[in-house]
Structure formats: C-alpha cells, structure tokens
Amino acid sequence: MLSIKNLHASIGDKEILKGINLEVNAGEIHAIMGPNGAGKSTLSAIIAGNENYKVTEGEIFLDGEDISELAPEERAHKGVFLSFQYPVEIPGVSVTNFMRTAINETRKANKLEEMPANEMLKVIREKSELLEIDRKFLSRSLNEGFSGGEKKRNEIFQMAMLEPKLAILDETDSGLDIDALRIVANGVNKLKSDKNAIIVITHYQRLLDYIVPDFVHVLYNGKIVKSGGKELAYELEEKGYDWIKAEN
C-alpha cells in the first residue's frame, strides 16, 4: 500500500531524513520508534504533504502511485490520514461542522455526491459511540479548550469518520492517562481491517501493549536502523535508546 523509497528530506539547510525505505501492506500495523529528534514526526509530516519540509530525493508511493508531488488535501482524498501530535484549535468551528466539511470535500474530490444530512448524523452517532464520546462534545469548537486526552480522542474520532486507507498516529499516546489511552487504543483496534494500514509513531512501548504492531522499526538519525517484530519494542524498552545509539 505504502512504499517509501530512499526518502531524503530537509528543513532549511538541515537534512532530517537520510534515506528512508519502508513498505507497508494493507492489514498491517507498523510501529516507528526512536529517540527525540530522530525524524519520526518529520516522516509523518512528509507523508501527509507538509510543505515546510523539502523532499530532496526519493519517492513515496501509495497504491503504486507516486504521491510525493501532491498537495496535502489531495493525499487526504486518496486516503492518507495523520493523527496530529499537537492538534490545532479552530475557534467557532464545531467538530461536527469540521467533519461535515472534510467528508464532503473528500467526496467531492472523488466525484461523489455530498453525504445526506441524515446519513451524516447516523455515522456521527455510530462513531462517537465507538469512541465513547459524549455527543455534546461534538458541538464544541474544534479542539478549543479540549484537554490533552480529548484532543487525541477527537483525532481518532476523525479517523473513524474519514475511514482512511493509511492512518499515521503521531505520538497519539503522549498526554494520555491510562484510561484515555485504553479508549483510544480500543478505538483504533476496532477501526483496523485487512483493507487499511496503520503506522504508529511512539517513544514508548506502552501504547504497543494496546495496539499490537506486526512490525517495529527504529528510526535514528534520519534512518531506519533496525526492523523487527513486536518483540523489538520490548527489547528497546529494556535496553533503552542508548543501545541503538551505541551501535550507530
């Protein structure tokens, strides 16, 4: 589904990604771990199309199509979703209105009619139940005054609404207490299918107790330096990142 080949990227003069190769197939969960400053968030931002970063070399394919030149909204229309580490606030725009706009813009881009209001309400009801979200929450301004946990849960609610092909969860566990973490992880697991793929970016092994990855990759200094199964996460937890740093 996602195929990243020799990806190099920089911000300003600083090269952050130094040749990333990654293959993700439908039905898989990949975890990308690594110390601060390794380039994890940069990688997720670049897959989503953030234009603050410059891709200097390499390609990103989604279902065989090179998406490296596409605008972020075009990538979204093709099913790329990023759960932000720091979701932004948009005052005066309700969660519902935001979702309605996002869904209809995506449908429009895919030459589909707008989703009828009653269907929209039905989907909203289903997905909010799935994530144990109080419906009152949905009429609040997007992320404004949300707690850390509410923001993250709202990100996963949006993922549920948009049903992406490829979801990248950037440090979704940061700022979550253990109960919120369980709810968010349960939500993600319910959304998981053999048609979509999930990339989980995290510092800690903790989240991976709930969202069990098929593959774990260690990103260090702009490169994937180690890949393995879920046991790699435990090894990292035990030995710490110094182990990786020492080897590289």
Partner 1 sequence: MCLNFLMVLKNKKMPKYTEDHLRVELESKEYEYGFYTDIESDTFPIGLNEDIVRAISHRKEEPQWMTDWRIEAFRAWEKMIEPEWANVHYTKPDFQAISYYSAPKAIDPNKTLDDVDPELLEMYKKLGISVDEQKMMNNVAMDIVVDSVSVATTFKKTLGEKGIIFMSISEAIKEHPELVRKHLGTVVPQKDNFYAALNSAVFSDGSFCYIPKGVRCPMELSTYFRINQAGTGQFERTLLIADEGSYVSYLEGCTAPSRDENQLHAAVVELIAMDDAEIKYSTVQNWYPGNKEGKGGVFNFVTKRGLCEKNAKISWTQVETGSAVTWKYPSCILKGDNSVGEFYSIAVTNNFQQADTGTKMIHLGKNTKSTIISKGISAGKSNNSYRGLVKVGPNADNARNFSQCDSLLMGNNCGAHTFPYIESKNPSAKIEHEATTSKIGEDQVFYCNQRGIPTEKAIALIVNGFSKDVLNKLPMEFAVEAQKLLEISLEGSVG
Residues 63-102: x where in contact with partner 1 by CB under 8 A, - otherwise, as a string: --------xxx--xx---xx-x--xxxxxxx---xx--xx
Strand-strand pairing, 90-94 and 54-62: unpaired
130 binds partner 1 per the rule CB under 8 A: no
Q: Which stretch binds partner 1 (CB under 8 A): 12-20, 48-56, 187-195, 207-215?
A: 48-56
Residues that bind partner 1 (rule: CB under 8 A) add up to a total of 31
- Rounded to a whole number of angstroms, the minimum distance from the CB of residue 232 to partner 1 is 29
- Rounded to a whole number of angstroms, the minimum distance from the CB of residue 15 to partner 1 is 22
Please report, for residues 4, 15, 161, 169, the alpha-carbon distance to residue 188 in angstroms, rounded to integers and kept in the order given: 23, 32, 12, 10
- Rounded to a whole number of angstroms, the minimum distance from the CB of residue 224 to partner 1 is 24
CA distance 185 to 200: 11
CA angle 222, 151, 99 (to 5 degrees): 100
- Rounded to a whole number of angstroms, the minimum distance from the CB of residue 95 to partner 1 is 11
Please report, for residues 79, 146, 189, the alpha-carbon distance to residue 167 in angstroms, rounded to integers and kept in the order given: 8, 22, 12
Please identify, using beta-carbon distances, which residue of 144 and 237 lies nearer to partner 1: 144
- Rounded to a whole number of angstroms, the minimum distance from the CB of residue 201 to partner 1 is 15
161 touches 131 (CB < 8 A): no
Please identify, using beta-carbon distances, which residue of 39 and 164 lies nearer to partner 1: 164
- Crossing angle between the packed helical segments 117-130 and 178-191, to the nearest 10 degrees: 130
Please identify, using beta-carbon distances, which residue of 39 and 49 lies nearer to partner 1: 49
- Rounded to a whole number of angstroms, the minimum distance from the CB of residue 188 to partner 1 is 18
Return the bridge partners of 94, or none.
141
Please identify, using beta-carbon distances, which residue of 105 and 214 lies nearer to partner 1: 105
Please report, for residues 19, 111, 126, 187, the alpha-carbon distance to residue 55 in angstroms, rounded to integers and kept in the order given: 11, 30, 39, 33
158 binds partner 1 per the rule CB under 8 A: yes
236 binds partner 1 per the rule CB under 8 A: no
The DSSP result for 48-115, as a single string, is HT-TTSEEEEEEEEETTEE-TTS-HHHHHHTTEEEE-SSPPPEEEEEHHHHHHHHHHHHHHHTT-PPP
- Rounded to a whole number of angstroms, the minimum distance from the CB of residue 107 to partner 1 is 9
138 touches 124 (CB < 8 A): yes
12 binds partner 1 per the rule CB under 8 A: no
Can you give the binding site for partner 1, defined by CB under 8 A?
48-52, 71-73, 76-77, 81-82, 84, 87-93, 97-98, 101-103, 105-106, 109, 141, 158, 162
